[in-house]
Amino acid sequence: MTRPKAPRGATHLENLMDKRRFLLAGAVSAIAAPALAAGSSTSRTGPGLLTVTGAIGRSNRGALDPVLDQLMVKHGRSFDKAWEFDSAMLARLPAVTIQPTLEYDAKPHKLSGPLLTAVLGAAGVAASAAVTLTMRAIDGYAVAVSLADASRYRMIVATAIDGMPMSLGGLGPLWAVYDADRIADFADKPIKQRFALSPWGLYYIDVKAA
């Protein structure tokens, strides 16, 4: 069958419509891509390792569960919303490596993980916020530090030591720590006193207005 001849100007109109569809599809993709990326970074797919509560701008879980959040209950925690990280979410943040001399063997060790300020930023805490961070370890040890000091010390949430992921039962799986050898506030102190603000086995951070 012979295809009917298109009216004069029809081919040009079809080309314009195809171009418009192409541009529209590109615009939709450009809008959707950041949303998809943001969604992938907020969805916890593995076990929760770090819970951030208090004065946060984002949340990906609800209130404390009195039945399932037993460690938090034992440590007297309470919250109506939180930002919870798994290992993949932390791994997506840029990593920093420091090499402090540790008090346990008086030897330097490489510790790697995202900056604490980057971790808090992912939970919606502005780097300039006037807040205090109460960091709590799995054994109940808790320490408070201002966000300004945490930034000044370039504290990291270490996930690896000497190239290996830190284990539960050791210093991990997370350790809030700084390079004490190279920070004037700590370098002159006896090594046993340098890491008082560094809870290993970190699992919880509460953010409060200063």
Supply 65's token pair. 């569960």
| Range 13-19 average pLDDT | 48
pTM: 0.80
d(CA 53, CA 177): 20
Report the pLDDT value the prediction gives residue 85, as an integer from 0 to 100. 98
Phi, psi of 24 (to 5 degrees): -65, -45
Of the chain, the percentage scoring pLDDT greater than 70 comes to 80
Domain boundaries, the chain: 90-209
pLDDT in tens, 35-70: 333 333 567 899 999 999 999 999 999 999 999 999
Q: pLDDT of 105-137, one tens digit each?
A: 999 999 999 999 999 999 999 999 999 999 999
First to last CA, the chain: 81
Give the tens place of pLDDT for each residue, 176-191: 999 999 999 999 999 9
- Residue 149's φ and ψ, nearest 5 degrees, are -70, -40
**CATH of segment(s) 90-209:** 3.90.420.10
3-state secondary structure 149-206: HHHHCCCEEECEECCEECCECCCECCEEECCHHHCHHHHCCCHHHCCCCCCECEEEEE
